[in-house]
A and B are shown apart, each in its own frame.
Chain A
């Protein structure tokens, strides 16, 4: 498996796991009360920080396990990276538009922040899935 493909798997799994943990924490804090009154800011910030730290640590482990292979990333990886970013861009816009609409409707900050966070998470997951499909099933940039 290509180095960048491993990295993509790690990124996708960390993103998914991180978001599920965040949801569990926030919904747990909400208890039987209204969800949008649950304290979410610290949980969101800690989740983002944890995702970054775990992803960086996993990256270092993958580099160490690559056994000093000279070429870790090449032209195909860069093309697949661009393809993934292109695919994910639509979801990012959708998340931003969703948050914009919520702001115009003057809903609670909770929903605006979470719409943006969900948009980022879905963008990352969509990008990762597109890249993994390109690695697994083939990629023809021409």
Chain B
């Protein structure tokens, strides 16, 4: 369960772009503890999808401006390119 995540985020940068919002202020807006905001920022905790959307909404940006997931060269970008015979 305690394993590194490949998800990275720009929360710290977004906080500074939004009037140097403090971690405590962001925590208050999300209804979580400041320690949870710190853990998310440092990639030590992956929030639920709902919290992820709430963070994006606080900053007024799309979800993938907040969280990023690195491209995997083994994963096809387009499902039509796959060899799956059941694919449409």
Contact = CB atoms under 8 A, between A and B. Distances in A.
A2 interface: yes
Chain A at the B interface: SS class: loop
A1 interface: yes
Interface residues of A, number: 22
B33 A140 contact: no
Nearest to B1: A83
Interface residues of B, number: 21
Nearest to A138: B44
A62 to B, nearest CB: 13
B1 A2 contact: no
A108 B33 CA distance: 49
B1 A141 contact: yes
Interface stretch (A43-51, A65-73, A118-126): A65-73
A5 B39 CA distance: 13
A139 interface: yes
B28 A138 contact: no
A75 B28 contact: no
A47 B21 CA distance: 48
Contacts of A106: none
Given A75-B48, A75-B51, A137 B2 contact: yes
Interface of A: 1-3, 5, 69-77, 83, 133-134, 137-142
